């Protein structure tokens, strides 16, 4: 999961980034509306935007309006002042998916993030099933036939992306975009190593990660 936070309060942004990274997300941060708009124009691999409305240089509502005008369906969670009822209403009318009034509990924000990303991916449950393989996105635990599989944080991230796109090709570049934050250097060779390690741990029975040479990887669909 990759999240963009647009928040000009650095203390709050640091707390959000720390909390979401601990939950397994890759998180990028911008401190102005203009930076948020540019980031959303140039990167389409974000799973969620956490958007403060009171941003400098470009108001959060304008960032949201431009996002929706481009036809981007990225889930948006708005952060507003406790008394900002009018702005919350406008934000929802302009296409936001949810909002939270400051101050808020990080545990509630994490729960709303999970709900919004599930909704954005068309999933009703936090558990993704693929034959005998189950992945709990909330607890970040994978199991096969009920037995937990010991996966590193990077392997869990790869598995989550492949499960969310089961049966579809995922390029190495897309994997890097979904798993890595700005400034984090991960080469295509490193992705190959992570995929190799993941295969050794989960390729049992009908579970198979196919390589399409020169293009990427695909977690093959399991037919009844």
Same domain? For 115 and 143 the reply is: no
State residue 174's pLDDT score.
Answer: 83
Domain that holds residue 52: 2-120
Residue of 36, 27, 33, 37 whose CA lies nearest to 1: 27
Domain finish residue from 93, 120, 147 = 120
Are 35 and 76 found together in one domain? yes
What average pLDDT does the chain have?
Answer: 86
Is 69 among the domain residues? yes
Whether residue 13 is found in the same domain as residue 115: yes
Strands 209-212 and 216-219: what pairing? antiparallel
Same-domain status, 63 and 11: yes
pLDDT at 224 exceeding the cut of 60: no
At 16 the pLDDT is 92
Q: How many percent of the chain have pLDDT more than 70? A: 95
Read off the pLDDT of each residue in 126-141 and give the average, rounded to a whole number.
Answer: 84
């Amino acid at each position: 999961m990759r999240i963009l936070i647009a928040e000009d309060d650095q203390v709050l942004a640091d707390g959000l980034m720390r909390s979401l990274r601990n939950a397994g997300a890759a998180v990028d941060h911008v401190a102005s509306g203009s930076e948020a708009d540019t980031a959303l124009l140039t990167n389409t691999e974000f799973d969620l935007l956490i958007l403060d409305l009171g941003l400098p240089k470009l108001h959060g509502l304008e960032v949201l309006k431009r996002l929706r005008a481009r036809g981007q369906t990225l889930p948006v969670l708005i952060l507003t002042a406790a008394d900002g009822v009018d702005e919350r209403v406008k934000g929802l009318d302009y296409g936001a998916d949810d909002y939270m009034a400051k101050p808020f509990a990080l545990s509630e924000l994490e729960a709303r993030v999970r709900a919004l990303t599930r909704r954005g991916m068309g999933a009703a449950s936090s558990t993704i099933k693929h034959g005998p393989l189950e992945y709990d996105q909330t607890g970040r635990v994978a199991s096969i036939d009920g037995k937990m599989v010991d996966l590193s944080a990077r392997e869990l991230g790869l598995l989550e992306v492949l499960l969310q796109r089961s049966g579809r090709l995922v390029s190495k570049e897309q994997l890097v975009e979904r798993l890595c934050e700005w400034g984090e250097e991960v080469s295509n060779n490193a992705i190959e190593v992570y995929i190799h390690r993941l295969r050794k741990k989960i390729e049992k029975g009908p579970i198979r990660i196919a390589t399409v040479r020169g293009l990427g990887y695909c977690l093959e669909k399991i037919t009844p």
